[in-house]
């Protein structure tokens, strides 16, 4: 309901706290697709938590987004930036295709979800996001 309201009101900033925590993977995917297309020019802050660390993903122009549900990681690997929080501190922050090769927390989350660097490249290309030069 709040996403629909944000669309109608043309909100420039969206804050989504555990927005898809209680939906199945397919519904999550549809919501993420809607966010990607309909809120492309907005700043989005999505927040989600895991038991040991948090993953923050940026989507849109210099926006900060957090989305760490490991099983749903595939839905957000095309986002602009990833900020992995560990024990309340920023552990990693960069584009997903830059973080993946670094063998850190983000990489471990990707491996747990069977996500390879090629999957990240493909997702970013499908969304029209340029692959980082360092990846």
Is the per-residue pLDDT at 3 higher than 80? no
> For the chain, what percent of residues have pLDDT higher than 70?
76
pLDDT at 107: 92
Q: What is the DSSP string of the chain?
A: -HHHHHHHHT-SEEEEESTTTTS-HHHHHHHHHHHHHHTTTSEEEEE---SSEEEEEE-STT-------GGGGGGGTTSSEEEEEETTEEEEEE-HHHHGGGTSHHHHHHHHTT--HHHHHHHHHHTTPPPPTT-
Q: Alpha-carbon distance 21 to 42, whole Å?
A: 22
Is the per-residue pLDDT at 33 higher than 90? no
pLDDT at 49: 60
Banded model confidence at residue 121, pLDDT cuts 50, 70, 90: very high
What pTM did the predictor assign? 0.68
Q: Dump pLDDT digits (tens) for 12-23.
A: 888 877 777 777
Q: Dump pLDDT digits (tens) for 66-118.
A: 344 445 677 778 878 888 888 888 899 999 999 999 989 889 888 888 899 99
């Amino acid at each position: 309901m709040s996403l629909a309201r944000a669309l109608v009101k043309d909100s420039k900033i969206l804050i989504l706290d555990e927005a898809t925590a209680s939906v199945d993977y397919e519904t999550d995917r549809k919501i993420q697709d809607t966010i990607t297309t309909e809120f492309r020019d907005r700043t989005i802050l999505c927040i989600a938590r895991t038991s040991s660390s948090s993953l923050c993903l940026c989507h849109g122009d210099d926006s900060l987004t957090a989305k760490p549900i490991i099983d749903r990681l595939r839905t957000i690997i095309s986002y602009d930036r990833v900020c992995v929080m560990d024990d309340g501190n920023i552990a990693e922050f960069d584009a997903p295709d830059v973080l993946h090769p670094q063998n850190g927390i983000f990489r471990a989350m990707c491996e747990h979800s069977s996500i390879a660097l090629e999957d990240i490249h493909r997702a970013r290309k499908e969304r029209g996001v340029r692959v980082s030069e360092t990846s």
